[in-house]
Amino acid sequence: MSEKINSTQTEWGYESPRKECGVFGIYDMSGNEVAETLYYGLLALQHRGQKSCGMAITDTNGPRMVNLKKGMGMVPEVFDEDSLAELKGNLGVGHVRSPKFGKAVITNAQPLVINYVKGTLILAHNGTILNSNAIREELAYSGSIFQTSIDSETIAYLIAKERINSRDVEEAVARALGQIKGSYALVMASPRKLIGARDPFGIKPLCIGIRDNAYILSSESCALESIGATFVRDVAPGEIVTIDHNGINSDMSMCISNDMQKRCIIEYMYFARPDSCVDGISIYQSRMKAGEILATDSPVDADVVVGVPDSGEIAATGFSQKSGIPCINAFVWNDYTGFNFVKPKPGTRNENTKVKLGVVKEAVAGKRVVVIDDSIIRGVTAGNIVKILKEAGAAEVHVRITTPAHIGNCAFGPDFYSAEKPIAFDKSPDEIKEIINADSLAFLKIERMSELTGGKAVCTGCFDGNYPMEPPREEDYNY
């Protein structure tokens, strides 16, 4: 995937989730170097974060020291052959980041490495800890000195604190996570163990793989494929797994019933790569199913179907196959705008959509077009897409969205947070249709969401306000 994923700048007119991270860990029991494997694993997860990345590696058969390198930018910008050659060891943890809390600065890059009385802990985190402020304050008053402004650091310090009175690091991790409220997929390493953990609701994905005598933990299965590893299984929601020379040990004490789990639908519709599987569900098939459901529930007389790159394209195929309306490639994405092109001057920000997304006029001129996208948040991008399609000559533009209408900001998964409320907060689909100048508009129905996850329960919080946990107040977003 290209760097357009996560490239949100709401003020520029492009709106989509701004934050996600990818975690990756490997323990080679045969003692082979893992830096190059970590590199390619992180590269496969690059779509989950482009602001910073890093890896920390240790040698389980040598002195207890950690080789750490992290930096701002994407994986190939931070690592080269020389830097990888310096990262010696057979146990490593890596991270790619696009921030929600904490500025995009080098001190906030992960993984985190802390040295404490019981040894060394490496930690990489994807998620959001809702009670991080309270934990941070308590730890600070007990003497902890924080080096970052990210919620992930509170997890590391909690584990270090609990380790003092625990028989092993696994018990310390369990005790620490028992105090945490929020979403997380964690990959950690102690001197001779690789540890993974997933929040009880299953909001964040995490899976296990194996290659020869090496075990891998990864946010997505696509990273396993990229390094020639075999998928073993997903880490269960609430599970803590410990990998050492005895194999995989599992602690299921934090697990909750299946009907209480709340997976994030945005992982399926937007964030995850199409060649990944999450909790046994193919992301490709999930997006195809979304398109099929929209064609069934919200049919329309049209000539062509087009998908907004990237996440709308597969759903457009599903809509086409179900409806019998031909699916065409009408959008051209400019992969070379990157993150640092000149911001439009006030009053011209809507032109940003045209800079990033072009339309093949010959494909849509005079035609009734169904356009498939993954979400409408503020309505700016949707309105611009309708506008450029009509300017290209489309006779009609019918918008279909593969998620329900967002009425709130997500506190646990992807970040839609803004001072502005989502457009659907106080406007009906008919009102939104008029605002974006579409000929018709339909969203996926909330009651159909679980069909996209094979019947597994999903979080509906940003669509109807029913969050799995009480969300933080806006004043809690303070760092």
Catalytic residue IDs: 21
Beta bridge partners of 113: 122
Measured CA to CA, the distance from residue 420 to residue 271 in angstroms comes to 22
SS3 category, 310: coil
- E runs forming strands in 212-289: 214-218, 230-234, 240-244, 247-251, 277-278, 281-282
Tokens standing for 66? 């950690």
- Describe the crossing of helices 311-323 and 283-297 by its angle, rounded to 10 degrees: 50
- What's the DSSP call for residue 284? H
- List helix spans (H) across 106-168: 132-141, 152-163
Nearest to 468 by CA among 256, 317, 297, 301: 256
Could you identify the residue written with the tokens 């300017």? 391
Nearest to 203 by CA among 21, 476, 24, 472: 21
Measured CA to CA, the distance from residue 313 to residue 288 in angstroms comes to 9
Contact at 8 Å (CB) between 100 and 140?
no
CB atoms < 10 A from the CB of 30, how many? 8
Return the CA Rg of the chain: 22
Contact at 8 Å (CB) between 67 and 88?
yes
Contact at 8 Å (CB) between 188 and 27?
no
Q: Which value, to the nearest 10 degrees, does the dihedral of the CA atoms of residues 26, 22, 97, 54 take?
A: 10
Beta bridge partners of 126: 185
- E runs forming strands in 235-389: 240-244, 247-251, 277-278, 281-282, 304-307, 331-333, 357-359, 368-373
- Collect all residues with Cβ–Cβ distance below 8 Å to 48 and sequence separation of at least 6: 5, 6, 20, 21, 22, 96, 98, 126, 219, 220, 271
Measured CA to CA, the distance from residue 415 to residue 418 in angstroms comes to 9
SS3 category, 195: strand
Tokens standing for 31? 């003692």
